[in-house]
Amino acid sequence: MSCSAILVNFHGAADTAAAARSAIEGTPGLEVLVVDNSADDVEFNSLKQLLPSEARLLRASHNLGFGRACNLAFNASDADFVFLVNPDVKILPGCISSLIAELQRDCRIGAVAPRQYLDDACQWLLPPSWFPTAMRAWATEVALKDRVHARRLSRALRAESSRYWTASQALVQRALSGGAMLIRRSAIGPSDELFDPRFFMYFEDSDLCARLKRSGYLLEMLPRAEAVHRWRNQPHKAALMADGAAVYFDKHQGATNRWQEKSARMAPLPSLRPLLEEYRIFPCEGLVVPKEWESGWLLELSPSPLLSPSIGRLGAGSRVDFPHEALANFEGAIVFGRLGLAASSWSQDNCWYFEFNVDAQFGKVCDK
């Protein structure tokens, strides 16, 4: 069965070409479609030179946004499966072939995603995608104001991430990230676009997942398929994310409901340090963990004081190194960390919390 990979370029020719090359090298016969959204002759010509010869380059007349650019490529292909891949993703060998085999194995699966790492060493794991609901937004607002709710929510989200990070078999998910996801074409309605064109950027993948689930399809993460997604915290894109969220909630939640009303009432209240008042200092030379953690520990880092979403590193042994390289992905944010036993017997009271001040301008990390 045939498969097309879709990439969208916006002034990132080198990264886009590298992502396309990684997909082609590990998947013989893969069709690659690249949409250039840059509307710039110099960028287009550079991309044309850098792309592998097997890739097919499509030029948008203007910046269509991510979703509509993907639709352009989707409509230019008739492949049975479509693989969405971001320019900052590196596909590891065997990834796409394993994803295709999983969709062929079970016709109930509408989309499947690989396990994703932040770094080339495959030490830091990216979190599961969250499925946006008005109730979850309300719960987050409450947790930021109330320590009891914060600890309950943070514990539940850590358990969800831990199951995701330690899974050895395919794991059914509520949502998948469009940064690396294989989709069954037949799961998209014959008269439907891949993405709802009302979304410019962000939340179009959440909307697609909602549509697939409404049609009765399953979503999966397949651990044996792996990719590196060089994610970075980008606060300057907050407005784009807010716009995408507004379109999503207007479409799926309709008129303001009671959860949105409750969330709006909570938002103006002052936020607390929701999990605890004092944070430890993480020594630059690393730290020694308690004896009972040496069999397996989990270190999480997040820009949210609720530690969700977070990246995670699973390890074992008596020492944990200072996470210099991982912290560099947070672009000057205050970063919160948590270290504790990786096993299911983990207790929120039996872990250590940290706060880091990342100075992106000078490339330094200072402990607060």
CB 38, CB 65: distance < 8 Å: no
**Cα 193-64-84 angle, rounded to 5 deg:** 55
322 burial class (0-12, 13-18, 19+ CB within 10 angstroms)? middle
Write phi, then psi, for 299 (nearest 5 degrees): -110, 125
Structure tokens at 331: 């672009």
Per-residue HEC secondary structure of 94-151 comes to CHHHHHHHHHHHCCCEEEEEEEEECCCCCCEECCCCCCCCHHHHHHHHHHHHCHHHHH
Write phi, then psi, for 137 (nearest 5 degrees): -60, -40
| pLDDT at residue 155, as a whole number | 86
**Residues, the chain, total?**
368
Q: How many CB atoms lie within 10 A of CB 90?
A: 21
| pLDDT at residue 293, as a whole number | 92
Write phi, then psi, for 21 (nearest 5 degrees): -65, -40
pLDDT, block means (10 residues), the chain with 368 residues: 95 97 91 96 97 95 95 96 97 97 98 97 95 80 83 88 95 95 95 92 93 97 97 81 85 66 63 68 90 94 89 96 91 85 71 78 45
From residue 66, give the alpha-carbon distance in Å to each of 69, 120, 294, 327: 5, 25, 44, 27
Rounded distance, CA 165 to CA 344, Å?
Answer: 13
Domains, the chain, ranges and CATH? 3-112+173-226 (3.90.550.10), 287-367 (no CATH)
Annotate 211-220 with b (16+ C-beta within 10 A) or e (fewer).
bbbeeebebb
CB 66, CB 201: distance < 8 Å: yes
CB 114, CB 95: distance < 8 Å: yes
Which residue stretches of the chain are H helix?
A: 13-25, 41-50, 66-75, 95-105, 134-145, 147-166, 204-214, 238-252, 258-266, 324-327
Query: Crossing angle of helices 204-214/66-75, nearest 10°?
Result: 50
CB 254, CB 133: distance < 8 Å: no
| pLDDT at residue 123, as a whole number | 96
Rounded distance, CA 175 to CA 110, Å?
Answer: 11
**Cα 153-117-352 angle, rounded to 5 deg:** 40
Structure tokens at 255: 């008129």
CB 84, CB 180: distance < 8 Å: yes
Rounded distance, CA 152 to CA 134, Å?
Answer: 18
Query: Crossing angle of helices 147-166/134-145, nearest 10°?
Result: 120
